[in-house]
Amino acid sequence: MQHRNLGTSGLRVSVVGLGTNNFGGRLDVNQTRAVVDRAIDAGITLFDTADMYGNRGGSEEQLGEVLGARRKDIVLATKFAAPMDDSGRKVGASRRWIMEAVEDSLRRLKTDWIDLYQLHFPDPLTPIEETLRALDDLISQGKVRYIGCSNLSAWRVVESQWVARDAETHRFVSCQEEYNILNRALEADMLPAMAEYGCGLLPYFPLASGLLTGKYKREAMPAGARLTDTPKFANREYVTERNWAMIEALEAFASKRGHTLLELAFAWILARPETSSVIAGATKPEQIDANVAAAGWELSADEVAELDRISGEG
Ligand code: NAP
């Protein structure tokens, strides 16, 4: 397993990480244990969760239950800001909610510290300086090691970096954003901003919810798989004519070189210098094995250029 720094921070993470938004929802605790055990055995060190995953708390709870003493060996990332109830109080990025949310996450995760604490969504009702100062206090208290953000627009990322500089607080060292070869919208503004300010990319939906694994075919959607069973994900503009055509072209590109579509999905994201870790979700131990093996293909500059052409961005 290779490792990279998270942006320009000193935090080292495995290039294949584990996304855990299936835990506590589609996966029960025994299924989660099987995936986590295999991930740790395979050398995955970055585990990405959020307070809201698993019907508000379930993912963190299952992780806390199955990690045990191995927690200290991994990089544990979680997030706050999404609504944790329907009252309208347990949400956002105010100092008041952050101080409560972090205690809830620490309790569910059965740990004393969070390695990477991420702002999950922008909170337009809270000044970013208030959020940064509260997070900075958590670092001083030893409850959090590094801070990151997610789903901010490029201008908000830049603003957060400048406010952190001005207020002399710690800064966001990572951005978690939707990115894969079928969705390259990030490249217009966000990737250049992240590169300029030393923020590592943690791409979410790196496998387009599974569409880039090769198991989905236009005529045959596999039973029990996310995009077959969960309309919420299938409807996210991935299952489209444009993408079926592109997947067929990408699959042909990969097989001509003795590789699979899954390997291509990892290799392409890892060819980006901004990428720190590909936090793919997995629901079975075999998927962990396949994902770790997939990260072994290093694309040449010519191959990257050809893929730009195929994906219409060249
Ligand atoms: P993803 O990684 O694109 O796809 C995950 C799905 O792909 C799994 O549920 C599994 O589907 C399938 N899969 C994975 N490896 C496979 C393999 N080797 N062979 C066959 N199928 C495989 O999507 P994601 O899990 O939603 O995104 C990754 C992580 O990003 C999440 O877990 C979460 O931590 C994070 N995330 C963050 C945000 C945000 O707003 N910050 C939003 C979404 C996700 P089956 O269920 O069909 O087995």
pLDDT in tens, 122-135: 999 999 999 999 99
Residue with tokens 């627009």: 153
Across the chain, mean pLDDT equals 95
22 pLDDT more than 60: yes
pLDDT band of residue 231 (cuts 50, 70, 90) is confident
Starting at the earlier edge strand, list the strands of the sheet with 16-19: 200-204, 172-178, 144-150, 114-119, 75-80, 46-48, 16-19, 278-281
For the CA of 284, the nearest atom of ligand 1: 48
Closest CA to 283 of 28, 65, 1: 28
Substitution site in 213, 228, 278 for ligand 1 pocket (most atoms within 8 Å of beta carbon): 213
Active site residue 53: yes
- Spatial neighbors of 15 by CB under 8 A, at least 6 apart, are 1, 2, 3, 4, 270, 275, 276, 277, 278, 295
3-state secondary structure of 109: helix
Element of type H or E holding 125: none
Of 53, 117, 197, 204, the catalytic one is: 53
Mean pLDDT, to the nearest integer, of 277-293? Answer: 97
List the residue whose alpha carbon is closest to atom 19 of ligand 1: 287
Q: How far is the CA of 137 from the centre of ligand 1 (A)?
A: 32
Q: How far is the CA of 119 from the centre of ligand 1 (A)?
A: 19
pLDDT value, residue 314: 56
**Which superfamily, per CATH, for 3-207+269-297?**
NADP-dependent oxidoreductase domain (3.20.20.100)
pLDDT band of residue 236 (cuts 50, 70, 90) is low
- Spatial neighbors of 308 by CB under 8 A, at least 6 apart, are 314
pLDDT value, residue 227: 86
For the CA of 233, the nearest atom of ligand 1: 26
Q: How far is the CA of 210 from the centre of ligand 1 (A)?
A: 7
List the residue whose alpha carbon is closest to atom 18 of ligand 1: 287
Nearest-angstrom CA–CA distance, 25 and 47: 17
Main-chain dihedrals φ then ψ at residue 96, nearest 5 degrees: -60, -50
Nearest-angstrom CA–CA distance, 25 and 214: 24
Q: How far is the CA of 32 from the centre of ligand 1 (A)?
A: 14
Nearest-angstrom CA–CA distance, 277 and 51: 20
Strands 12-14 and 144-150: unpaired
